[in-house]
C-alpha cells in the first residue's frame, strides 16, 4: 500500500535518534512525558472528537464547545491534574474557548496587577472556576490605541464606589473572548476619573452576570459580536460586545498594584512603572510566540508527510512516480518552514525565560529590563505569527488540491490562526514599538550608556550614530523602513537564540547535526529572502550571495532523508493533527475517500432541492414559462 510503505521507508532512512529529538522539541524529558500522556488521554476520549466541527451550525458548534470545556474541567478535577497537566489538556482539546481567556488573561491580570489582598480575594474563586473571567480592553472605536479608550470609571466619594460607564457607541467593549455568552466577570479597562480629572487607563474587576441565573446585572448590555472568518475555526469563541450604563462597583475592585485610590479619593502611585497596567499583554505575547511554533510545526508535519506519500510525474525504472518531496522546488518551500518551526520553538523557550527573569526582577523592584522585555515580546510576537500564518497557507499549497479540503486540517488551522497577527497587538503596530525602542537605544549610544541584552551588537556598528540623527527628524516619515529594521532586529534574535541552543549539551546520535543543518537553513533562507537589502547595504558581495545559495541547496539535500523523522519528533497524535493528509501511517487515499462519504450532502443520493430547482431546468419548465 503506497502511503504505509512510503512513510515506513522514510522512517528507516533517518540518520538521528528521533526519541532524543522529541526531548529537545518538548524542552525536557519531563515535559515530553506529560505532553505525550495528556495528548493520548485527549485523543482517546470520544467527547473531544473534532471531526464534525466544520459542519455544525454556530449554535451547535458553540454548545459542543461548552460540552467539551465542561468535560475537560471534570477530567481535570477527577484526575487531580497539576496546573501544568491541566494546561496541556486544554491545549490538546484544541478548540478556542472562554477557558483560554479565563486561564490565559483574567487570572494573569489579577496576579500581575492586583494587590496581595485582591489576589487573596479573587484568585481562589477563579482557580476553582466559581467565577469565569475575561479581559475586556478593546472597544469598537479603539484597539491599538489603548490610551484612546473611552469607557469611564468615575470615583464617587459619597458611596466609595466607581461608576463604570460607556459614554458613546464607540466606547462599547468589542472583541473580548468569553465575554459574549459565558463570563461572569471581566477585567474592564477604562479611564480613571476622580473629581473630574482624567488619570488615564486602569483595570477594574466588574461582575457582569448573575451567579444564580446567568442574566446580565442591571445596567449591563451584553452579547456576541457575530460570525468570524472560516467554518468552525474561531467561531467556537464567544467574542463579545458590552455596554455599561452607570454600573457601580466597590472601590476595592480597581486593580491597585500600580496606583491606588484612597477612601478620600486621592490617587497614590506605587513605585512600579505605570506600564505594568499593560503587563498582561507582555505575558500573553510571550505565550503566543511559543504557540506559533506549535501551529507552524503542525502544518509542516501535515505537508511533509503528505509530500512523501504524494507522487506525480517522473516515472522511475520500478514503474512508480516520484514522491513530490523529492522535487527541489518542493524542498525549497517546505524545508525553510520546517527550520522555522524549530527556530520559533527555541526562541519561544528563551522568551519564556526572559519573561520569568523580568518578573523576578520586578518583585525585587528592578524595572531596568522591562523596556527590552516589551520590545522582544512585541517584536517576536509579530515576526513569528506573521511567518506562521503565511507558512500555514504555504503548506496548504504544498498539498495541492487536497490541501483545500477541510479534511486536510489546513483550512481550519489557517482560519483559527490568522487572527494571531491582529490580537494582542496588530503586528505592524507592535513592530513600530520595536522601532521606537531601537531608536531610543541608538540615541543613547554616544552618552556612554552601553547597549545590553539583545541590542549589544549596536555598540559595534559605527554608522548607527549618524543614523540616529536622521531618524529623530522623521520617525513617521520613515516608519515603513523602520518596520523593516525592526524585523531585521527580531530575525537576529531568532538566529542568535538558535545558535545559543546549539551550544548547549545536545545528547542523542545525530541530533545536533540535524539541528545545525536546520539552523543554517533558517539563517541562509532569511539571507536569501532579503538578498536585495544585504547586497545594497554592502553586507555581502554577489559572490557570497551565490555561495550562500549553493550552500542552502546542499543543506536541503542533507535534510531530505530526515524530513519525516524531523516532523515525527513533534510527537503529535493524529487527533491533534486532525488531518487525513498528515496521518502517521500515511494511509491517505482510502481515508480521503472514506471521509468524503461522511459529508451531509451525501446523506441522500438525490439532493434536497432537486424537485424545486434542478428538475425544472432539466425538464425545461423554466424556459417554457419564459417563452
Ligand X SMILES: Cc1cc2nc3c(=O)[nH]c(=O)nc-3n(C[C@H](O)[C@H](O)[C@H](O)COP(=O)(O)OP(=O)(O)OC[C@H]3O[C@@H](n4cnc5c(N)ncnc54)[C@H](O)[C@@H]3O)c2cc1C
User: Annotated active-site positions, please?
Assistant: 424
**504 vs 215: CA distance, rounded Å:** 55
Question: DSSP characters for 481-516?
Answer: HHHHHHHHHHHHHHHHHHHHHHTS---STTHHHHHH
Q: How far is the CB of 614 from ligand LOHRUJSQ (least distance, A)?
A: 45
3-state class (DSSP) for residue 269: strand
Whole-number Cα distances in Å, 212 to 184, 215, 218, 318, 431 = 10, 8, 14, 71, 45
3-state class (DSSP) for residue 268: strand
The smaller minimum CB distance to ligand X, of residues 424 and 568, is found at: 424
State the residue for C-alpha cell 483550512: 411
User: Is 138 an interacting residue with respect to ligand X (CB under 6 A)?
Assistant: yes
Pick the piece of the chain touching ligand X (CB under 6 A) from 58-66, 172-180, 517-525, 617-625: 172-180
Residue 402 · residue 312 · CB < 8 Å: no
Q: How far is the CB of 164 from ligand X (least distance, A)?
A: 15
User: Is 426 an interacting residue with respect to ligand X (CB under 6 A)?
Assistant: yes
Q: E strands within 195-323?
A: 197-207, 220-224, 240-244, 247-250, 259-261, 267-269
By Cβ distance, which residue is nearest to ligand LOHRUJSQ? Answer: 104
Q: How far is the CB of 421 from ligand X (least distance, A)?
A: 9
User: Is 155 an interacting residue with respect to ligand X (CB under 6 A)?
Assistant: no
User: Is 423 an interacting residue with respect to ligand X (CB under 6 A)?
Assistant: yes
Whole-number Cα distances in Å, 572 to 126, 300, 309, 551 = 31, 12, 18, 31
* 328-363 and 511-529 helices, crossing angle to 10°: 100
Q: Which of 31, 422, 558, 573 binds ligand X (CB under 6 A)?
A: 422
Residue 151 · residue 191 · CB < 8 Å: yes
User: Is 433 an interacting residue with respect to ligand LOHRUJSQ (CB under 6 A)?
Assistant: yes
Q: Residue 526's binding partner, choosing from ligand LOHRUJSQ, ligand X, none, with beta-carbon cut-off 5 to 8 A by kind?
A: none
Nearest to 106 by CA among 209, 250, 207: 207
Q: Is 462 exposed, middle or buried (0-12, 13-18, 19+ CB in 10 A)?
A: exposed
Residue 379 · residue 486 · CB < 8 Å: yes
User: Is 428 an interacting residue with respect to ligand LOHRUJSQ (CB under 6 A)?
Assistant: no
Nearest to 220 by CA among 239, 201, 192, 248: 248
Q: Which of 53, 173, 310, 374 binds ligand LOHRUJSQ (CB under 6 A)?
A: 374
User: Is 179 an interacting residue with respect to ligand LOHRUJSQ (CB under 6 A)?
Assistant: no
Q: Which of 144, 368, 541, 620 binds ligand X (CB under 6 A)?
A: 144
Q: Which of 278, 342, 344, 522 binds ligand LOHRUJSQ (CB under 6 A)?
A: 278
**277 vs 255: CA distance, rounded Å:** 9
Residue 77 neighbours by CB distance under 10 Å: 12
User: Is 423 an interacting residue with respect to ligand LOHRUJSQ (CB under 6 A)?
Assistant: yes
Nearest to 510 by CA among 558, 568, 551, 556: 558
State the residue for C-alpha cell 425545461: 620
Q: Which of 88, 94, 95, 100 binds ligand LOHRUJSQ (CB under 6 A)?
A: 100
User: Is 394 an interacting residue with respect to ligand LOHRUJSQ (CB under 6 A)?
Assistant: no
The smaller minimum CB distance to ligand LOHRUJSQ, of residues 327 and 423, is found at: 423
Q: Which of 3, 114, 133, 177 binds ligand LOHRUJSQ (CB under 6 A)?
A: 177
Nearest to 101 by CA among 354, 306, 284: 284
User: Is 419 an interacting residue with respect to ligand X (CB under 6 A)?
Assistant: yes
Q: Residue 239's binding partner, choosing from ligand X, ligand LOHRUJSQ, none, with beta-carbon cut-off 5 to 8 A by kind?
A: ligand X
Q: How far is the CB of 126 from ligand LOHRUJSQ (least distance, A)?
A: 14
* 370-398 and 328-363 helices, crossing angle to 10°: 160
User: Is 150 an interacting residue with respect to ligand LOHRUJSQ (CB under 6 A)?
Assistant: no
Q: How far is the CB of 291 from ligand X (least distance, A)?
A: 14
Q: How far is the CB of 577 from ligand X (least distance, A)?
A: 23
Cell numbers for 382: 509579530
Q: Residue 234's binding partner, choosing from ligand LOHRUJSQ, ligand X, none, with beta-carbon cut-off 5 to 8 A by kind?
A: ligand X
Q: Which of 177, 279, 379, 451 binds ligand X (CB under 6 A)?
A: 177
Q: Which of 3, 114, 133, 143 binds ligand X (CB under 6 A)?
A: 143
Binding site for ligand LOHRUJSQ (CB under 6 A): 100, 104-105, 135, 137-138, 143-144, 146-147, 177, 275, 278, 281-282, 284, 287, 370-371, 374, 423-425, 429, 433, 436
Binding site for ligand X (CB under 6 A): 101, 135-138, 142-144, 175-177, 234, 239, 419, 422-426, 428-429, 432
Amino acid at each position: 500500500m503506497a502511503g504505509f510503505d512510503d512513510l515506513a521507508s522514510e522512517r528507516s532512512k533517518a540518520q538521528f535518534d528521533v526519541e532524543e529529538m522529541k526531548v529537545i522539541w518538548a524542552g525536557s524529558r519531563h515535559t515530553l512525558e506529560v505532553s505525550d500522556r495528556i495528548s493520548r488521554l485527549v485523543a482517546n476520549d470520544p467527547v473531544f472528537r473534532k471531526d464534525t466541527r466544520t459542519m455544525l451550525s454556530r449554535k451547535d458548534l458553540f454548545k459542543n464547545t461548552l460540552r467539551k470545556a465542561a468535560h475537560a474541567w471534570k477530567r481535570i478535577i477527577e484526575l487531580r491534574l497539576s496546573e501544568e497537566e491541566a494546561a496541556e489538556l486544554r491545549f490538546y482539546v484544541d478548540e478556542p474557548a472562554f477557558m483560554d481567556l479565563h486561564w490565559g488573561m483574567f487570572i494573569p491580570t489579577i496576579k500581575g496587577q492586583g494587590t496581595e489582598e485582591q489576589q487573596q480575594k479573587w484568585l481562589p474563586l477563579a482557580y476553582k472556576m466559581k467565577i469565569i473571567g475575561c479581559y475586556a480592553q478593546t472597544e469598537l472605536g479603539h484597539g491599538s490605541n489603548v490610551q484612546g479608550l473611552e469607557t469611564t470609571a468615575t470615583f464617587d466619594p459619597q458611596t466609595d464606589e466607581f461608576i463604570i460607564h460607556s459614554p458613546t457607541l464607540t466606547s462599547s467593549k468589542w472583541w473580548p473572548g468569553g465575554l459574549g455568552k459565558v463570563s461572569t466577570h471581566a477585567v474592564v479597562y477604562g479611564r480613571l476619573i476622580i473629581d473630574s480629572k482624567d488619570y488615564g487607563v486602569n483595570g477594574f474587576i466588574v461582575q457582569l452576570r448573575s451567579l444564580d441565573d446567568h442574566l446580565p446585572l442591571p445596567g449591563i448590555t451584553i452579547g456576541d459580536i457575530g460570525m468570524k472568518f472560516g467554518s468552525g475555526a474561531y467561531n467556537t469563541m464567544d467574542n463579545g460586545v458590552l455596554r455599561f450604563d452607570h454600573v457601580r462597583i466597590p472601590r476595592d475592585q480597581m486593580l491597585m498594584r500600580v496606583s491606588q485610590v484612597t477612601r478620600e479619593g486621592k490617587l497614590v502611585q506605587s513605585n512600579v512603572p505605570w506600564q505594568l497596567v499593560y503587563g498582561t499583554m507582555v505575558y500573553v505575547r510571550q505565550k503566543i510566540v511559543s504557540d506559533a511554533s506549535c501551529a507552524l510545526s503542525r502544518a509542516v508535519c501535515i505537508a511533509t508527510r503528505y509530500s512523501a506519500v504524494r507522487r506525480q510525474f517522473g516515472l522511475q525504472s520500478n514503474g512508480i512516480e516520484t514522491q513530490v518531496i523529492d522535487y527541489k522546488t518542493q524542498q525549497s518551500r517546505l524545508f525553510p518552514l520546517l527550520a522555522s518551526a524549530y527556530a520559533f520553538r527555541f526562541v519561544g523557550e528563551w522568551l519564556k525565560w526572559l519573561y520569568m527573569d523580568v518578573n523576578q526582577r520586578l518583585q525585587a523592584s528592578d524595572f531596568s529590563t522591562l523596556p527590552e522585555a516589551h520590545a522582544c515580546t512585541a517584536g517576536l510576537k509579530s515576526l513569528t505569527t506573521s511567518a506562521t500564518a503565511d507558512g500555514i497557507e504555504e503548506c496548504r499549497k504544498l498539498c495541492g488540491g487536497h490541501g483545500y479540503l477541510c479534511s486536510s486540517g489546513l483550512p481550519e488551522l489557517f482560519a483559527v490562526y490568522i487572527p494571531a497577527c491582529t490580537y494582542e497587538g496588530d503586528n505592524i503596530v507592535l513592530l513600530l514599538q520595536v522601532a521606537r525602542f531601537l531608536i531610543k537605544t541608538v540615541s543613547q549610544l554616544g552618552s556612554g550608556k552601553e547597549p545590553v541584552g539583545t541590542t549589544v551588537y549596536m555598540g559595534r556598528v559605527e554608522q548607527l550614530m549618524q543614523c540616529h540623527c536622521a531618524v529623530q527628524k522623521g520617525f513617521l516619515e520613515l516608519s515603513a523602513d523602520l518596520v523593516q529594521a525592526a524585523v531585521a532586529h527580531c530575525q537576529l534574535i531568532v538566529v542568535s537564540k538558535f545558535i545559543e541552543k546549539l551550544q548547549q549539551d545536545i545528547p542523542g546520535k545525530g541530533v545536533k547535526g540535524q539541528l545545525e543543518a536546520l539552523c543554517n537553513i533558517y539563517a541562509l533562507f532569511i539571507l536569501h529572502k532579503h538578498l536585495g537589502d544585504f547586497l545594497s547595504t554592502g553586507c555581502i558581495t554577489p559572490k557570497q550571495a551565490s555561495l550562500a545559495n549553493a550552500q542552502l541547496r546542499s543543506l536541503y539535500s542533507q535534510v531530505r532523508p530526515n524530513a519525516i523523522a524531523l516532523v515525527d519528533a513533534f510527537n503529535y497524535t493524529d487527533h491533534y493533527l486532525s488531518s487525513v493528509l498528515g496521518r502517521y501511517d500515511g494511509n491517505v487515499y482510502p481515508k480521503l475517500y472514506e471521509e468524503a462519504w461522511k459529508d451531509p450532502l451525501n446523506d441522500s443520493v438525490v439532493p434536497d432541492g432537486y424537485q424545486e430547482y434542478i428538475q425544472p431546468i432539466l425538464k425545461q419548465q423554466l424556459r417554457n414559462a419564459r417563452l
